[in-house]
A and B are shown apart, each in its own frame.
Chain A
C-alpha cells in the first residue's frame, strides 16, 4: 500500500467532509444545538429543580455530560450515514472507488469526518451547557479518549448502515428504532442505581451506558460502571466494527455489482 498516497487521500476526504458540514451548517450544526438547549431548559431547569440531586450533583449538572455525549454520537453516526449513502445514491462514491486510495483510507476518511462533526457539535453543546450549569473536568484524558472512542464507534456503525442502505428510509430506521431508544435507556437522564436489579443488569447490555458513564466520570468523577470495562467495550467495538467495514468494502457488498 502506498502510504503517502493514502495519507493525502484521507486528508482530501476529511477536508471534503468538513466543507460539506459547513456548507449545510443549518442542517448539521444548528438543529442539535437547538434540541440540546431545549433539553437543558425542560429537563434540567424546569423539571430538574423538582428532582433535586443525583449522585451528589444537581440534576442539571448530572445530565449535562450525557447530553453532550448524546449529541456527539448521534452526529457522528448521522454524518457518516448521510454522507456515504448520499455519495452512493448520487454515484459520486465512484470517484473514490475508481481511484487507487485503499478501502481502509475510504473508511478512515469518512470516520474522521463523522468524529469531527461529533466533536464540533459536542463542543457547541458544552458551551450551551455552561450557560445552565457549572462543569469542571475531573479526568481530562478519560474525557478526551472516551469521546473520541465513542464517536468512532458510532461513525463506524453509521458507515455499515450506509453500506446496506438502498433507499433514504433505510438510513433513518436504525437511528429511530435502535439508536434513540438505546440512548434514552443509556443513563443519560438517570443513574441505573435507581432501577430494580433486573433492569440494572439489563441496562449493562447497552453499550451507550458505558459511553455515557465513562464520559460522566471524566467530567464529574462519578460513574455507575467500571471505567476499565468501558474501555474494553469501546476498544472492542471499534476493532469489531472497523473489521466489519473493511470486510464489506473488500467484498464490495452494497457498493459494487
Chain B
C-alpha cells in the first residue's frame, strides 16, 4: 500500500539531510510529497534550503542522508530513470553564452537520448512555444534576460519531462513576460506536467500553485493545499480611500481602524466579519468609499508570520 501511494507521487522526499563541508546544515531531515499533476510551491527566505533540496533532486548536489523518489524511481537505485522524468530550470543562468540558441536546446535533447528528426522537431516546438524560434541562430549572449530565462525553460522541456522544477524562473523578468510565462506554465500543467516552483514573488505562487510548502532554516514549517494555507490567515487589512478625508480614524463597531499618512483608512477584518458587514457599518455612518484595495498579498503576510514566529 505504501509502495502504491509512493508511486502516485511525482516526488517523494523522506528525511532528506544535507550538511555542507563547512558544517552548514542546509537541510535538517525534510519530508514532503508532490502529487502527480500538482502545481507545487516551495517557498522560503534566502538560504532556507530550497535550492539545496532542488540540487539534490536533480543530482547537482550530493545528499548527506535521506531518500528521494521521482515517480517511484529512487535517485540512489534508478538514477537514470529518475533523471529522465525531471526537467530543471535553475535559479542561476547556466547556458553557454557563446552557443547558438537552437544548438543549446538541440544539444540538450541529445543528452536525453533524442536524436535526428525528433530532436529537431522538439527543439522547434519549444522554441516556438517560448517565442524564441526567430532567435535560433543567434548566440545566447545576445538575448535579453527574460529571453535567457525562456530559453532555459525550452531547454528543460525538450525531453518532455513529467516533473518540471523551476527555481526562481521569473527573477528579474518584467511583468509582461512574467504574465506570459505564467500562462505558459498553466498550460503545460493542465496538459499533465507536474510543476514545482520556487519564487520570491508570492503573488506568483498564490496565482499559480495549488499546494504550498514553506521551508525555513532547513525545515519544512508548512505543507498544505494553498486554499487551506490561506484560510489560516484569519485577518486581512483593507485600505479604503474615502470621499471625504476624516480628521481622525472613525470608530467602527467590531473593526480596528487606523488613519494612515496618505489620508486613507486602514480597516482590519477578522474571521467574524465579511466585507458586506464592513460596508453596512460604513453606510450607517454615512462614510462614502471611493475605492478599496487589499493592503498586502495574503500569502506574503502568512509567509512573514510563519517565518517570524520561528525567530528566537
Give the interface of A toward B (CB within 8 A): 1-2, 4-6, 8-9, 11-13, 15-16, 19, 23, 87, 90-92, 94-102, 252, 256-257
Neighbouring A residues of B58 by C-beta, 8 Å: 98
Contact, CB under 8 Å: B98 / A23: yes
Contact, CB under 8 Å: B62 / A98: no
Min CB gap B66→A, angstroms: 16
Contact, CB under 8 Å: A97 / B55: no
A95-B155, A98-B88 known; A8 vs B113 contact (CB < 8 Å): yes
Contact, CB under 8 Å: B59 / A98: yes
Min CB gap A42→B, angstroms: 35
B61 within 8 A of A: yes
B263 within 8 A of A: no
Contact digits for B55-89, partner A, Cβ 8 Å, 1 yes 0 no = 10011111000000000000000011101101010
Contact, CB under 8 Å: B59 / A2: no
Bound together, the chains give a CA A101 to CA B83 distance in angstroms of: 9
A95-B155, A98-B86, A257-B55 known; A9 vs B95 contact (CB < 8 Å): no
Contact digits for B109-139, partner A, Cβ 8 Å, 1 yes 0 no = 1111111000000000000000000000000
B90 within 8 A of A: yes
Bound together, the chains give a CA A12 to CA B111 distance in angstroms of: 7
Contact, CB under 8 Å: A99 / B115: no
Neighbouring B residues of A257 by C-beta, 8 Å: 20, 55, 60-62
21 contacts between A and B (CB under 8 A): A1-B80, A2-B80, A2-B113, A5-B112, A6-B113, A8-B113, A9-B111, A9-B112, A12-B107, A12-B111, A12-B115, A13-B111, A15-B110, A94-B60, A94-B88, A94-B90, A95-B107, A95-B155, A96-B111, A100-B111, A256-B60
A4-B113, A92-B94, A257-B20 known; A97 vs B59 contact (CB < 8 Å): yes
Q: Which DSSP category, helix, strand, loop or mixed, fits chain A's interface?
A: helix
A-B pairs with beta carbons under 8 A, tally: 86
B241 within 8 A of A: no
Q: What residue in chain B is nearest A19 (Cβ atoms)?
A: B103
Neighbouring A residues of B308 by C-beta, 8 Å: none
Neighbouring A residues of B86 by C-beta, 8 Å: 98
Neighbouring A residues of B97 by C-beta, 8 Å: 90
Neighbouring A residues of B113 by C-beta, 8 Å: 2, 4-6, 8-9, 100-101
Neighbouring B residues of A15 by C-beta, 8 Å: 107, 110
Min CB gap B21→A, angstroms: 8
B96 within 8 A of A: yes
Bound together, the chains give a CA A15 to CA B61 distance in angstroms of: 28
